[in-house]
């Protein structure tokens, strides 16, 4: 009786939780470098807001997310009516797909790209048209070339997960300007805050100009609030109206709304995270190179690295040493691992463990 489209769909495979690895493998102080979380923790202002909001959790949250949306609108220079909140940006990816995709419709995306793009299409019987990256970077002309009358959505992760690369702003601008008006461009900017100013595209301008563009961002990465599940999208008010019809009435919980608003205020926390990530990324890249493993040059808080042997087996061996990374077989990269940049201690532990595993 279930939808036939679900038959071929495998459940999303998240990074293993720390406690589970410690219990299963009998290790202590495991380093989780598998989900591109902020290893430095949340903003203390966000933690305080959670504590304050906790006393009122007998009430439903503000279903419209009014205060958080107003905060974001002011920060981003858009109207509240152009903002949607989601239970993580993941929910917004899924809702966008449910709004636009019917069986047989097409959605264009890169390969490799965040696996959820493909999953949300598959679940609806839509066709994921995957365009191989070139040197791990989106092939935008290649993607533009496969847009057809059946294309309803285009997914561009910029920066892209799992490659860690971004397209040059001018190239993205040219791509956006040449797109036909019909398909919705879902521009997933989960790692946008890690980009240096000059590498950030003018994505919100495209929304302001009234283009069919839905820009997704999240509090899970730089803001360190992954456990609360809160993300947001900026798009045309008509799209936000459709999302409001489809989403669950209280999709973003009260603690998440309070913490997110507080996190936006803590620019020092963001700056510390950017600096700590850049430092860790340099150390991890150098350490991998010293092991003979060049990583794809990343602008994010994670590295994609070819270990030149079965990635799943290496990831399993690392688990035994208390280091959790993500094997990339599901992304069509059976010899690659994706390693999140951790704290200095976590990065050192990961490099030690990798050296031991590869040397063994
Ligand atoms: C590219 C990309 N988009 C979206 C998400 C979803 O993030 P969240 O649902 O936590 O906002 C992730 C999480 O890893 C991601 O890497």
Alpha carbon of 360 to ligand 1 centroid (Å) = 34
Q: Does the beta carbon of 190 sit less than 6 angstroms from any atom of ligand 1? A: yes
Q: Which of 335, 328, 252 is nearest to 64 (CA)?
A: 252
Q: Does the beta carbon of 87 sit less than 6 angstroms from any atom of ligand 1? A: no
d(CA 256, CA 68): 10
The pLDDT value recorded for residue 11 is 85
Nearest CA to ligand 1 atom 3: 190
The pLDDT value recorded for residue 234 is 98
3-class state of residue 66 by DSSP: helix
The H-assigned helical ranges of 185-266 are 203-208, 237-246, 254-265
d(CA 136, CA 166): 9
> Which whole-number Å values give the CA distances from 102 to 99, 129, 185, 303, in the listed order?
9, 14, 17, 35
For residue 203 the two structure tokens come to 């994505």
By DSSP bridging, strand 184-188 and strand 213-218 are parallel
Q: Does the beta carbon of 164 sit less than 6 angstroms from any atom of ligand 1? A: no
CATH for 44-265 (1.20.120.1200, 3.40.640.10, 1.20.1440.230, 3.50.30.10): 3.40.640.10
The H-assigned helical ranges of the chain are 18-25, 44-54, 66-76, 89-100, 115-123, 140-145, 169-178, 203-208, 237-246, 254-265, 267-290, 311-320, 344-359
Residue-level pLDDT, tens digit, the chain, 360 residues: 899 999 888 888 888 899 998 999 999 989 999 999 999 999 999 999 999 999 999 999 999 999 999 999 999 999 999 999 999 999 999 999 999 999 999 999 999 999 999 999 999 999 999 999 999 999 999 999 999 999 999 999 999 999 999 999 999 999 999 999 899 999 999 999 999 999 999 999 999 999 999 999 999 999 999 999 999 999 999 999 999 999 999 999 999 999 999 999 999 999 999 999 999 999 999 999 999 999 999 999 999 999 999 999 999 999 999 999 999 999 999 999 999 999 999 999 999 999 999 986
Phi, psi of 249 (to 5 degrees): -55, -40
CATH 2.60.120.10 fits 4-32+268-359, yes or no: no
Alpha carbon of 183 to ligand 1 centroid (Å) = 22
Q: Give domain limits for the chain.
A: 4-32+268-359, 44-265
The pLDDT value recorded for residue 15 is 81
Exposure string of 158-172, with b = 16+ CB inside 10 Å and e = fewer, is bbbbbbbbbbebeeb
The pLDDT value recorded for residue 12 is 86
Alpha carbon of 92 to ligand 1 centroid (Å) = 10
The pLDDT value recorded for residue 270 is 98
């Amino acid at each position: 009786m279930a939808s036939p489209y679900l038959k071929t769909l495998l459940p999303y495979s998240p990074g293993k939780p720390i406690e589970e690895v410690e219990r299963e493998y009998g290790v202590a102080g495991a380093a989780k470098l598998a989900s591109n979380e902020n290893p430095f923790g949340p903003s203390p202002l966000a933690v305080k807001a959670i504590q304050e909001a906790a006393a009122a959790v007998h009430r439903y949250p503000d279903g419209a997310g009014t205060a958080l949306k107003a905060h974001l609108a002011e920060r981003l220079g858009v109207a509240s009516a152009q903002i949607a909140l989601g239970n993580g940006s993941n929910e917004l990816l899924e809702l966008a797909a449910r709004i636009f995709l019917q069986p047989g419709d097409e959605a264009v995306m890169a390969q490799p790209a965040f696996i959820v793009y493909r999953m949300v299409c598959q679940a609806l019987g839509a066709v994921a048209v995957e365009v191989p990256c070139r040197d791990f970077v989106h092939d935008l002309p290649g993607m533009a070339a496969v847009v057809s009358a059946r294309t309803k959505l285009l997914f561009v992760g910029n920066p892209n997960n799992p490659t860690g690369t971004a397209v040059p702003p001018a190239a993205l601008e040219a791509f956006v300007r040449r797109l036909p008006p019909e398909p919705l461009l879902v521009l997933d900017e989960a790692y946008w805050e890690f980009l240096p100013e000059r590498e950030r595209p003018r994505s919100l301008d495209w929304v302001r100009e009234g283009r069919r563009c839905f820009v997704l961002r999240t509090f899970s990465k730089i803001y360190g609030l992954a456990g609360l599940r809160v993300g947001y999208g900026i798009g045309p008010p008509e799209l936000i109206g459709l999302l409001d019809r489809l989403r669950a009435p209280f999709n973003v919980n009260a603690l998440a709304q309070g913490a997110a608003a507080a996190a936006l205020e803590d620019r020092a926390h963001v700056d510390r995270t950017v600096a700590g990530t850049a430092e860790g990324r340099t150390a991890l890249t150098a350490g991998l190179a010293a092991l003979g493993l060049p990583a794809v040059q990343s602008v994010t808080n994670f590295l994609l690295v070819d270990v030149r042997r079965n990635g799943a087996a290496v990831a399993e061996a690392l688990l035994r040493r208390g280091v959790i990374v993500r094997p990339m077989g599901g992304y069509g990269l059976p010899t690659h691992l994706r390693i999140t940049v951790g704290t200095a201690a976590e990065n050192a532990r990961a490099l030690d463990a990798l050296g031991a595993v590869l040397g063994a």
